[in-house]
């Protein structure tokens, strides 16, 4: 209970708890100061720290419960220390890039310092009980990019409260009481992602508490250049709900608070109050923390003395949160100054101890590897013709003060270059050591890009009977989604026009009426946060299908898809996952922004996701069924002009699956192999009919998925038969056709089976022009495909294939 003595005000917590908070904040500050020293001394590469924000984070941690989620950024170290999500020793391990999940559980050394994450998965990839832990979504560096996923993390609480079919998932939610705490710096609120996310949270009435740390700057740029009126709190007033309305009303909007970064009692009261309302009534809050100081500047990349005035620096020293809390504690007789001096000295020593232990743990295995190599080099040098050079190399390696694994491997490589003309018994041992250590390091830094579960889903072929009806493509999708929604209660579908209309192409027609507005939902026009909404929901155990209405509009969400979703499993070394299914459609319509094919941009930016390109709706349905049996993110790109094309509806539309990375030969031939996908399949088949009349039989292969690509090397088997290949798609020159060519010719060894140069046929370098004629002269057509293949065959036998033009 709060204490009160004569001459003091009521304390927000017991004295022991206040002292405990201060000591944690003080230790955090020492971690920042010592961390900066470690970077400047060369032991670490870069440092960014949370100094100046310690007191606010004590209050946030006080309001944070097990089951809650954080979607923050790289200033939240005090908060993480207080919850025990990351210890100070682990903080230093990450600063040193210790590539071992035992020492850096957030990222196994893959992320720079102060990028926090909880380990929400067991080593086998299954979920831990989120309601029994403090959940921290893995941080990313791009400014404001933590906000979109906060939409979904918070909205999942709405789902768990509103949907009866989810009530049994006790490991993920306790009746939707969980709050998502998002944090952001004042300057980053200038990003569109911030405004889109705040708007979406308010519309969805999702329980989020958004904290804005305001130190008046964005690195060196002051607020006057960041925002109108120089005050983000003033701008956010428009999101504020009517404070006189009772919290149980359905009015949408935020509770709004402003509090000083150095006012410990007010901060504790503010966060506890905001959390209580958000938890019970799902009313989000915006908390503007003002008068934040940043004692060490933005990061180790520069000094804030270069851009802050002497007056500002003096003010920051006076209003440092630690100093203000220290004075407040003494004034309120919580603890005396001599007592504080004593505990601060002990805490500084403790942090130095954590740092030393982290450094020793980091360096020990590297030194052991160096010693192994030094011993081998010495043994080789004793009988080598290159004794002098080898010993110089050995001595140089032995005296490196902060040796890295790259230094060791560089030295081994140099030694083997020297020894290329010698035979020596230990040389073979050194070569073997290099090969084995190379494998270890590839695993150390490259594992967990994919979990691989989607590749293990067994194929179930479509089943047809005499009664199987012939229906439009959109009806195939409708039947597939109906079956999926019925069998999988965690499946939530949403996007622009998905709910009431059933999407613009009717794939979800009637599904909202059947399954309710929370299962099949309309969203605003906000692609980045549609994707972010899906990421957050998937991290909380749900299975979202997020629709981006057209392929061209994926570009709005591509940064989040690339930086957050695609890297999540890898950057946490298997600690977190978000099995998001992104549904979109593209190719072959009309106009610049409705018929583009930015596939090469997508496949190069979303490694860590699967990119699936079904040629018709039956195969699209098979892919969705496969993905829902796995736990990996993917984007499925349906053919835009295929919804009105008729297909036969499989009897097992809800059970059939399509394997990933397995092409299909859709026409056999002996002369030329054409490799393509999606909407181009129909055009290539048209060309195949024309070529057949000219005596040329082409083998047409639909790759079906670009990531993964032909995992069984089926295409090269076709090439062994035809000895000629043409890669066709609608992307720009040098785009996806070039990617497919590298996969087949270089990686699969197709080069050795060629009798003619491998060729590509793509769209033009510009976007597709409007109209049917614009489409014809912007993308491959049956005629241009015919000409490309005919010329390949004419080169082989000019007499059999005389010149046409």
What radius of gyration do the chain's Cα atoms show? 30
**What does the pLDDT read at residue 251?**
75
**Exposed e or buried b per residue across 718-737, where buried means at least 16 C-beta atoms within 10 angstroms of its C-beta:** bbeebbbbbbbbbbbeebbb
**What does the pLDDT read at residue 9?**
62
pLDDT of residue 7 exceeding 70: no
Task: Convert the pLDDT of each residue in 764-793 to its tens digit.
Answer: 999 999 998 999 999 999 999 999 999 999
DSSP state of 290: E
**What does the pLDDT read at residue 610?**
98
| Helix (H/G/I), strand (E/B), else coil: 726 | strand
Contacts of 166 (CB under 8 A, 6+ apart): 159, 160, 173, 489, 490, 542
- Greater confidence (589 vs 444) lies with 444
Measured between alpha carbons, how far is 49 from 53 in angstroms, rounded to an integer?
9
**What does the pLDDT read at residue 2?**
42
CB of 581 within 8 A of CB of 565? no
Between the alpha carbon of residue 795 and those of residues 716, 759, 798, the distances in Å are 22, 13, 6
291: left (phi over 0), alpha (psi -120 to 50) or beta: left
Q: Which residues pair with 760 in a beta bridge?
A: 727
**What does the pLDDT read at residue 588?**
67
**What does the pLDDT read at residue 425?**
85
Measured between alpha carbons, how far is 627 from 502 in angstroms, rounded to an integer?
21
CB of 434 within 8 A of CB of 412? yes
Report strand pairing: 208-213 vs 285-290: parallel
Confidence of residue 6 (pLDDT cuts 50, 70, 90): very low
The predicted model gives 556-570 an average pLDDT of 98
- Strand residues in 548-660 grouped as ranges (E): 581-586, 610-612, 634-639, 646-648
pLDDT of residue 5 exceeding 70: no
Active site residues: 594
**Exposed e or buried b per residue across 366-398, where buried means at least 16 C-beta atoms within 10 angstroms of its C-beta:** beebbeebbebbebbbeebebeeebeebbeebe
Task: Convert the pLDDT of each residue in 532-549 to its tens digit.
Answer: 999 999 999 999 999 999
| Helix (H/G/I), strand (E/B), else coil: 526 | coil
Task: Convert the pLDDT of each residue in 294-325 to its tens digit.
Answer: 999 888 888 888 899 999 999 999 999 999 99
Lowest mean pLDDT, pick from 149-163, 174-188, 577-591, 664-678: 577-591
Task: Convert the pLDDT of each residue in 480-519 to its tens digit.
Answer: 999 999 999 999 999 999 999 999 999 999 999 999 999 9
CB of 54 within 8 A of CB of 76? no
Q: Six-digit token pair at 776? A: 């014809």
**Residue 1 burial (10 A CB sphere; 0-12, 13-18, 19+):** exposed
Between the alpha carbon of residue 547 and those of residues 489, 492, 498, 528, 566, the distances in Å are 18, 11, 8, 11, 17
Task: Convert the pLDDT of each residue in 73-97 to its tens digit.
Answer: 999 999 999 999 999 999 999 999 9
Measured between alpha carbons, how far is 487 from 384 in angstroms, rounded to an integer?
70
pLDDT of residue 423 exceeding 50: yes
pLDDT of residue 213 exceeding 50: yes
CB of 88 within 8 A of CB of 98? no
Task: Convert the pLDDT of each residue in 372-419 to its tens digit.
Answer: 999 999 999 999 999 999 999 999 999 998 899 999 999 999 999 999
Measured between alpha carbons, how far is 425 from 445 in angstroms, rounded to an integer?
31
Report strand pairing: 217-218 vs 221-222: antiparallel
**What does the pLDDT read at residue 22?**
98
Between the alpha carbon of residue 435 and those of residues 98, 409, 413, 431, 442, the distances in Å are 22, 10, 11, 6, 11
């Amino acid at each position: 209970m709060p204490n009160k003595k004569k001459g003091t005000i009521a304390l927000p917590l017991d004295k022991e708890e206040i002292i405990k908070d201060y000591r944690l904040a003080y230790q955090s500050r020492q971690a920042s100061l010592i961390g900066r020293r470690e970077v400047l001394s060369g032991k670490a590469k870069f440092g960014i720290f949370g100094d100046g924000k310690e007191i606010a984070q004590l209050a946030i941690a006080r309001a944070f419960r097990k089951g809650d989620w954080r979607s923050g950024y790289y200033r939240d170290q005090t908060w993480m220390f207080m919850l025990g999500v990351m210890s100070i020793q682990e903080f230093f391990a990450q600063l040193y890039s210790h590539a071992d999940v035992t020492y850096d559980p957030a990222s196994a050394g893959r992320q720079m310092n102060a990028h926090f994450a909880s380990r929400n998965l067991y080593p086998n990839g299954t979920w831990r009980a989120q309601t029994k832990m403090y959940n921290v979504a893995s941080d990313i560096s791009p400014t404001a990019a933590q906000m979109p996923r906060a939409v979904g993390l918070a909205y999942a609480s709405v789902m768990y409260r509103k949907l009866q079919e989810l009530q049994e998932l006790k490991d993920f939610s306790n009746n939707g009481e969980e709050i998502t705490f998002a944090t952001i710096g004042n300057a980053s609120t200038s990003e569109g992602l911030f405004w889109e996310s705040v708007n979406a949270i308010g519309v969805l009435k999702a329980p989020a508490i958004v904290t804005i740390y305001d130190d008046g700057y964005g690195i060196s740029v002051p607020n006057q250049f960041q925002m109108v009126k120089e005050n983000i709190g003033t701008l956010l007033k428009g999101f504020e709900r009517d404070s006189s309305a009772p919290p149980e009303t359905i009015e949408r909007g935020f509770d709004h608070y402003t509090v000083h970064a150095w006012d410990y009692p007010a901060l504790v009261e503010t966060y506890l109050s905001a959390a209580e309302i958000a938890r019970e009534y799902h009313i989000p809050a915006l908390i503007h923390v003002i008068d934040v100081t940043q004692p060490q500047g933005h990061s180790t990349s520069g000094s804030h003395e270069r851009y802050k005035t002497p007056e500002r620096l003096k003010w920051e020293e006076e209003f440092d949160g630690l100093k203000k809390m220290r004075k407040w504690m003494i004034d309120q007789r919580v603890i005396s100054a001599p007592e504080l001096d004593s505990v601060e000295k002990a805490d500084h020593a403790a942090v130095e101890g954590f740092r030393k232990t982290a450094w020793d743990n980091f360096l020990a295995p590297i030194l052991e590897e160096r010693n192994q190599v030094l011993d081998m080099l010495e043994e080789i040098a004793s009988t080598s013709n290159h004794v002098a050079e080898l010993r110089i190399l050995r001595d140089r390696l032995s005296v490196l003060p902060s040796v890295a694994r790259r230094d060791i491997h560089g030295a081994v490589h140099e030694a083997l270059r020297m020894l290329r003309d010698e035979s020596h018994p230990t040389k073979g041992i050194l070569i073997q050591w290099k090969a084995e250590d190379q494998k270890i390091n590839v695993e150390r830094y490259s594992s967990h890009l994919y979990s691989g579960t989607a590749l293990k889903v067994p194929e179930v072929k479509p089943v047809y009977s005499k009664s199987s009806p012939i229906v439009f493509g959109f009806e195939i999708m409708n039947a597939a989604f109906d079956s999926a929604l019925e069998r999988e209660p965690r499946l939530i579908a949403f996007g622009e026009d998905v709910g009431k209309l059933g999407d613009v192409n009717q794939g979800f027609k009637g599904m909202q009426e059947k399954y309710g507005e929370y299962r099949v939902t309309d969203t605003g026009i906000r692609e980045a946060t549609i994707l972010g909404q899906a990421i957050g929901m998937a991290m909380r155990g749900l299975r979202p299908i997020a629709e981006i209405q057209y392929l061209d509009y994926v570009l709005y969400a591509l940064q989040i898809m690339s930086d957050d979703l695609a890297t999540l499993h890898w950057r946490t070394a298997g600690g977190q996952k978000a099995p998001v299914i992104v549904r979109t459609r593209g190719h072959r319509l009309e106009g610049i922004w409705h018929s583009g094919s930015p596939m090469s941009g997508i496949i190069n930016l979303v490694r860590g996701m699967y990119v699936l390109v079904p040629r018709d709706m039956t195969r699209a349905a098979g892919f969705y069924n496969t993905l829902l049996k796995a736990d990996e993110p993917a984007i499925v790109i349906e053919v835009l002009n295929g919804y009105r094309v008729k297909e036969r509806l499989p009897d097992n539309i809800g059970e059939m699956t399509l394997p990933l990375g397995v092409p299909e030969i859709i026409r056999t031939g002996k002369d030329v192999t054409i490799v393509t996908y999606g909407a181009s399949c129909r055009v290539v088949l048209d060309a195949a009919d024309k070529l057949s009349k000219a005596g040329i039989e082409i083998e047409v292969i639909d790759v079906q998925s670009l990531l993964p690509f032909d995992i069984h090397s089926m295409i090269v088997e076709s090439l062994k038969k035809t000895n000629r290949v043409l890669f066709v798609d609608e992307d720009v020159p040098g785009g996806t056709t070039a990617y497919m060519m590298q996969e087949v010719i270089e990686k699969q060894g197709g080069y050795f089976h060629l009798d003619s140069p491998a060729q590509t046929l793509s769209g033009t370098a510009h976007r597709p022009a409007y109209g049917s004629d614009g489409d014809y002269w912007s993308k491959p057509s049956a005629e241009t495909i015919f000409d490309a293949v005919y010329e390949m065959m004419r080169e082989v036998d000019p007499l059999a294939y005389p010149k046409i033009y």
